[in-house]
Structure 1
């Protein structure tokens, strides 16, 4: 997985009014969620922009509010690739993270808010990875039409084990056949999608049906 360098500025003014003012300055509000709950009461020191959110069962989560610019995140958001973000919160702290969620304006599609999840080298993450088909399907050679039903698959793995793409060979995929999630295996990865979900398949076309029913074929 490729890395993406991103800088942010911690902020302490929260709420809808503050977020609206930030957007008017061409900034985007963002949040970093610590990927591991901490024990309560928390005895560590919180940095600027950090707050402690109480969870259940004596646990808490450190959440950092900050801002980023559109130019700094544009290539991260509008890309088919996935990235491990190296996030520098300007003197506050440097962490590794992945994009958890992006909120867009329903009309203009402008980026309203970005959520990040902190990543640790020894703890697995859940992330969607693009699917890449390779090879020449037997079913397509026979006149069928190849369809990719799932462009990304959700995987659970250590960040160091997450590939840029999940490559699936389709050389032996025949007419009317499909590849389901349960048939796939990638070293070091756990696929989180339903096992019976169809990733890709070769559909019968009229031409293929005609060739199959033509005498002498």
Structure 2
């Protein structure tokens, strides 16, 4: 998993009034949660572009004044109207301690079920995993090449090196649902098989009579 550097500065004042003030100046109030103490700082809103608006997960190296802190983005709050980031929570990480993080699911392959007219339904776009930072992937690849109509891939069907999937094993990640096209195709195949069987039976009867 790649690491993105984000520069910021510690907040000298806290409270709602100060938070509104720094937002007007284009900054986002942030917090780093740690088992020892929590740190309050601010980051310019443009610094989140590569971290938030991306289909991949990343580790974060926070450069706050004269401190360098490794972390992961834990949560974000957006303005209900403008959709701007108004708050961000980070969790400090340690090299020797496993990290719990949500990682995007990347669907690969051309499903045989979709080719037959089925509809691809992605139930989970992120999965929660646990592992050391050095082992975390940017996304979780799920190959649907062999997935048929009315079949699904669940969390229990997936496995990745050096990380643990934390979602329930029965959780459906992706499935192929029936559609009118698929049902029509299946019906035509059944009718064709029945016709072939009838023709074969008729041929055998003719052979017996002759």
Q: TM-score range by the shorter chain?
A: 0.7 to 0.9
Q: Which runs of 4+ in 1 moved over 3 A?
A: none
- Aligned Cα root-mean-square deviation (Å): 1.3
- Partner SS state of residue 96, structure 2: coil
CA distance in 2, matches of 1:101, 1:76: 12
Question: Which deviates further from its counterpart, 98-107 or 74-83?
Answer: 74-83
Match of 1:123 among 97, 102, 107: 97
1:74 counterpart (39, 49, 56): 49
Aligned to 1:194: 168
Where 2:137 maps in the other structure, the secondary structure is coil
1:176 aligned partner: 150
Tell me, in whole angstroms, the C-alpha distance in 1 between the residues paired with 2:110 and 2:29: 46
Q: Which has the higher strand share?
A: 1
Q: Separation in 1 of the partners of 2:177 and 2:51?
A: 35
What residue in structure 2 maps to residue 57 of structure 1? none
| Structure 1 segment 105-184 matched on structure 2, within 5 A | 105-184=79-158
Distance 2:183 2:151 in 1: 14
CA shift digits 1:127-174 (9 cap, x unpaired): 111111222222122221222221111111111111011111222211
TM-score by structure 2 length? 0.86
Q: Does 1:83 align with 2:58?
A: yes
TM-score, reference length from structure 1: 0.84
Higher helix share: 2
Q: How many matched pairs? A: 191
Residues 84-112 of structure 1: CA deviation (Å, up to 9, x unaligned): 11111111x10111101111111221211
The Cα shift of 1:211 comes to 2.0
